[in-house]
Amino acid sequence: MKQIPNDPKKTKQIVSTLSLAEGKRTELAINIRAADGMTNGASNIVQNIIVHQCGKPSGVVWVQFDQADVGEKTRHDNRHLYTQRIKQEWTPIKPITTRFAVDRNRTAQLVRKQFPARPAATKTVVNFCTKKVYPTFIMQASA
């Protein structure tokens, strides 16, 4: 476990600890569906979090992208997931599984499952001034 890097550059952009909350600004950490605009750095705001197994990357994180056309195909393909609580302009983000080398010789492989997002704090301006409290979801990746 000590050989698992904390540097996202060495783990295919998947962070070891991901903190998500409704209303929090994030961006995609990898290209999920380039033809749909869901690419590395696509800015969004977390709107809803549905967890199927507590403490594990499971379920769906619903986000609203800054650009309305981003995720349009994904929303259409996942229309069966929408309920009265989930708005049509929100896009489902599901956990992904990545593999990366962890030892000095790069022969050992680790598999990590995580939501492909990262905080976009440098783009957040307004929410620092609000006193609104959001439910928080923190995900710790394990080997």
- pLDDT (tens, 9 = 90+) of the chain, 143 residues, equals 455 555 555 544 565 566 778 999 999 988 999 999 999 889 999 999 988 877 777 789 999 999 999 999 999 999 999 999 999 999 999 988 877 666 666 666 666 677 888 888 544 344 444 444 444 444 444 44
Count of domains forming the chain = 1
Identify whether 134 is part of a domain. no
Does pTM surpass 0.85?
A: no
Is the four-CA dihedral 139, 59, 96, 27 of positive or negative sign? negative
Identify whether 89 is part of a domain. yes
Considering only CA atoms, give the Rg of the chain.
16
pLDDT at 51: 83
Identify whether 33 is part of a domain. yes
Identify whether 138 is part of a domain. no
Which domain range does residue 80 map to? Answer: 8-120
Identify whether 86 is part of a domain. yes
- The closest alpha carbon to 132, from 20, 25, 22, belongs to 22
Identify whether 81 is part of a domain. yes
Identify whether 1 is part of a domain. no
Identify whether 137 is part of a domain. no
Tell me which H or E stretch contains 77. helix 72-77
